[in-house]
Structure 1
Amino acid sequence: MHRLTLAQANAMIEAAFAKGAEMGLKPLTATIHDPGGHLIACQRQDNASTLRVRLAAGKAAGALALGVSSRTVGEMALDRPHFIASIDSMDFGGMVPAAGGVIVLDEAGVIVGAIGVTGDTSDNDEACALAAIAAVGLRPAN
């Protein structure tokens, strides 16, 4: 496997939303991307704001662009704000330096895509992303 399939992407979104419901979160939006950052699937729950699609995509795209989770991108932004601000404008999908964007690895440790989740606190968004990855038997990059 070199990238997530549409079936896996849809299952991940379903699992992220199920985790959000279990946790009693605000309406979520989830995007799934291939290793190049291109969108595979996206869903926005009822009453989720329209900007959430771009925010979720920015979390996933930023993670893929720098090879680390969007949580780590956020930590990098604190230490090197000018660096993150400058590369944000270079990246195809933009970059959101807040937890919720996680790179997805297959069983061999190869990057097969990324997920971005937004709608609640960044920590809760990330919890839903991690649950989504586990639901399809894959693993997050560290």
Structure 2
Amino acid sequence: MPGRLALDQARALIDIALVKADAVGVPINVAVADDGGHLLAFARQDGAILASVDIAIRKARTAVLLRMTTDELGKAAAVGGPLYGIEGTNGGLVVFGGGIPLFTPDGDLLGAIGVSGGTVEQDITIAQASADRLSADHPGTAATSPQRARA
């Protein structure tokens, strides 16, 4: 099923993120978007910050639209960067970590995961753990940029 993130994979991403969030000790919101940036699955843990519902969804959508992590985007969108001001486009993009795109080894975009509720570092850790586990469980996926996926 190249180019498509299946619902069972999206649910697995969510479940793994929730377990990791419990281990980290922070309640989160987690969203999985398909390859078009549309919400495929979502969960909000008890006590998660309500504002982070929208942020998690936008992190996943941003990672799909730009085919890069929101952490990478944040660096490019910093003052003086080549993408400075991009967060105001496309209905609002997120330019801080916690959104990770998912690719096939050939570089085809599958979708993305977005995590919000902790610090940026916690969000990245949780999202990355989930994406890495999906890659291990479903060998046709990679949580990286298409350039690195081909290497």
Name the TM tier (shorter chain).
0.7 to 0.9
Q: What's the offset of the Cα at 1:136? A: 2.0
Q: Distance in 1 between matches of 2:58 and 2:97?
A: 11
Q: What's the offset of the Cα at 1:71? A: 0.2
Aligned to 2:77: 77
Aligned to 2:62: 62
Q: Distance in 2 between matches of 1:110 and 1:131?
A: 21
1:40 aligns with 2:40: yes
Aligned to 2:15: 14
CA deviation vs aligned residue, 1:65-96 (integer Å, no higher than 9, x gap): 222110011112213479543x434314x211
Q: Distance in 1 between matches of 2:44 and 2:13?
A: 13
Aligned to 1:118: 116
Q: Normalized against structure 1, the TM-score is what?
A: 0.87
Q: Normalized against structure 2, the TM-score is what?
A: 0.82
Q: What's the offset of the Cα at 1:132? A: 1.0
- Cα-Cα RMSD: 1.9
Aligned partner of 1:129 among 122, 127, 144: 127
Unaligned runs of 5+ in 2: 136-140, 146-151
Aligned to 1:98: 96
Unaligned runs of 5+ in 1: none
Change in 2 beyond 3 A, CA 1:18/1:33: same
